[in-house]
Structure 1
Amino acid sequence: MTASPEPAVPDPVSTPAPAIPLRTLRLSIVPALHPPLTGPAAALVDPATPPPRPPHRPGPRPTPEGRRGRSQDLFGPAWSLRDDLPDPRAAGRLLFTTALEALAGRRPLTQVQRLTSPGVYAAVVSGRRPAWCAAGTTPLLVGPVHVCEPVDGVAEVSAVARRSGRAHAVAARLEGVGGRWRCTALSIG
Structure 2
Amino acid sequence: MTASTQPVPPTAAPLRTLRLSLVPPLHPPLTGPAVALVDPTTPPPRPPHRPGPRPAPEGPRRRRPDLFAPAWSVRADLPDPRATGRLLFTTVLEALAGRRPLSQVQRLASPGVHAALVAGRRPVWCAAGTAPLLLGPVHVCEPVDGVAEVSAVARRAGRAHAVAARLEGIDGRWRCTALSIG
Contact 1:62 1:79 in 2 (8 A): no
Distance 1:89 1:28, change over 3 A: farther
Q: Does 1:61 align with 2:54?
A: yes
Q: Does 1:73 align with 2:66?
A: yes
Deviation for aligned residue 1:23: 7.0
Distance 1:21 1:172, change over 3 A: closer
Which residue, 154, 174, 181 being the options, matches 1:181?
A: 174
Q: Does 1:25 align with 2:29?
A: yes
Contact 2:63 2:71 in 1 (8 A): no
Q: Which segments of 5 or more consecutive residues in structure 2 lack a partner in the other structure?
A: 1-16, 37-45
2-structure distance, mates of 1:26, 1:63: 55
Contact 1:63 1:79 in 2 (8 A): no
SS at match of 2:83: helix
Q: Deviations over 1:98-145 (max 9, x none)?
A: 000000000111100000000000000110000000001111111011
Using structure 2 for the length normalisation, give the TM-score. Answer: 0.73
Q: Which segments of 5 or more consecutive residues in structure 1 lack a partner in the other structure?
A: 1-11, 33-52
SS at match of 1:98: helix
Q: What is the RMSD of the two structures over their aligned residues, measured on CA atoms?
A: 3.1
Runs of 4+ in 1 over 3 A off after TM superposition: 20-26, 28-32, 53-56, 68-72
Write 1 or 2 for the structure with the bigger share of helix: 1
Q: Percent identity?
A: 79
Contact 2:62 2:71 in 1 (8 A): no
Which residue, 130, 140, 164 being the options, matches 1:171?
A: 164
Instruction: Report the counterpart of residue 126 of structure 1 in structure 2.
Output: 119
Q: Deviations over 1:85-110 (max 9, x none)?
A: 00000100000000000000001111
2-structure distance, mates of 1:158, 1:73: 37
Which residue, 79, 86, 101 being the options, matches 2:79?
A: 86
Could you tell me which amino acid in structure 2 is paired with residue 121 of structure 1?
H
Q: Deviations over 1:120-173 (max 9, x none)?
A: 000001100000000011111110111111110000000000000000000000
Distance 1:109 1:29, change over 3 A: same
